[in-house]
Amino acid sequence: MLTLGPGINGPASKALRLDGRLDSGVLSPALHQVLLNMARLRNVVSSLQIEGEKVDLAEARRVLDTEAPTTPREQEVLRFAKAYTDLHHRPEPPNLTVERIRRMHREFFENGTLEEGPIGGFKQIPNGVRDKTTGQWVFHATPPEETEAELEALLEWYHGDALSLPPAVAAGLFFVEFEAIHPFADGNGRLGRFLNLVALKHFGFHNACLTPIDGRFFRSGERYYEALAATNGGGNYHVWSRYYVKELLRAYEIADQRADLRTLLEVHTKPTTQDVLKWVLSGGASWFVHSDYPNPKGFSSTAVSIALSELVKEHVLEAEGEKRGRRYRLHPQFLTRLYNADFLGDTPSRLRQGAQSGRPPT
């Protein structure tokens, strides 16, 4: 039985509060999309890298920007990225059933990137998770003949008793149990990490797709597999739950830092420029004119014009037209600079020990 303590309850509660902050912060629709773009890029690439795939971040960004994949792997990157975006914008997450999960497996991997099949069909041979470097097994999964029943039991819990647990804990337990079942011959890790976002949204984390949670799993690779291994055979869920809520909280802290625009505002010392910029950032990316600014603090028209000119010079805004016909909007280069910033702050080192699905020894 899982006993909740400060090491689990505290981070779980903080992560849920940060999810709410992402709703209430000064975040324009345009910057909101930038945040989503950065998170989905990091998550898709990290999820593939966890599996030992060599995925180039710049190439993945190109695929997401152009939506023009040239290889089956790039098609998979784009397919997962679109699924993350769709999940974020849905009012409610998809209702998970056994058939829905099988259909997701078919949709994600129909381009033939899996090493083992069948696609959309449950495994026929015992499998598990193995360390690619050492060949040692992280855990042995549910036997094939028990797979469907175990998955049905997990989904019954997911829609029922799980709702009585703290949301982060429930999502983490769903994720680790899905991985323990490992229902498919291949693709369980990538699909499972997407289902983790579905579960987070199901349990109340509506902005989970704005966080680099898969990036956190990638960066903490050894601990990720150690925590998974601790649950082998229904064992120690405390180790996994402490690890999971800690990394979830860190992912939310990163997203919150990116969404917090106070630092950007504080760069400007003039109250007029600060207020104009705050108004622009809390709106959209569409064009506006001088008179659209509501001017709640009663700044002079000249002061507002000077503030707009300063923001144009800094390439925060772009402008077109002259005099009264002059209009402004957030500069595309400004958004690009935010998008190209590394979402995790620095370049993550590659895992020394990756993992892959495989067949356990008989």
User: In this structure, is residue 334 part of a structural domain?
Assistant: yes
Report the pLDDT value the prediction gives residue 58, as an integer from 0 to 100.
Answer: 84
Beta strand residue intervals within the chain, DSSP E:
128-131, 137-140, 288-289, 317-320, 327-330, 355-358
Residues 150 and 224 in one domain: yes
* Whether the predicted model's global pTM rises above the 0.75 cut: yes
Which residues are CB-neighbours of 164 under 8 A, at least 6 positions away?
none
Residues 120 and 106 in one domain: yes
Residue type, 44: V
Rounded CA Rg of the chain? 23
Residues 51 and 98 in one domain: yes
What is the bridge-based pairing of β-strands 288-289 and 327-330?
antiparallel
- Our separate counts of H helices and E strands in the chain read 15, 6
DSSP 163-183: GGS-HHHHHHHHHHHHHHH--
Residues 134 and 201 in one domain: yes
Residues 104 and 167 in one domain: yes
User: In this structure, is residue 348 part of a structural domain?
Assistant: no
What span, in angstroms and rounded, lies between the C-alpha atoms of 39 and 30?
A: 15
Residues 31 and 147 in one domain: yes
What span, in angstroms and rounded, lies between the C-alpha atoms of 188 and 194?
A: 10
What are the structure tokens assigned to 292, written together? 């659209």
Report the pLDDT value the prediction gives residue 33, as an integer from 0 to 100.
Answer: 78
pLDDT along the chain (362 residues), means of 10: 76 95 70 82 91 85 90 92 95 97 95 85 89 72 95 98 96 96 95 98 96 93 86 81 96 87 78 90 79 94 95 92 88 70 36 37 40
User: In this structure, is residue 355 part of a structural domain?
Assistant: no
User: In this structure, is residue 141 part of a structural domain?
Assistant: yes
Residues 244 and 122 in one domain: yes
User: In this structure, is residue 300 part of a structural domain?
Assistant: yes
User: Which CATH number does the domain housing residue 310 bear?
Assistant: 1.10.10.10
Residues 182 and 316 in one domain: no
User: In this structure, is residue 86 part of a structural domain?
Assistant: yes
Domain of 295, in residue numbers: 262-339
Residues 94 and 204 in one domain: yes
Q: Give the count of domains, the chain.
A: 2
Residues 86 and 207 in one domain: yes
User: Which CATH number does the domain housing residue 188 bear?
Assistant: 1.10.3290.10
Strand order in the sheet with 317-320: 288-289, 327-330, 317-320
Report the pLDDT value the prediction gives residue 100, as an integer from 0 to 100.
Answer: 98
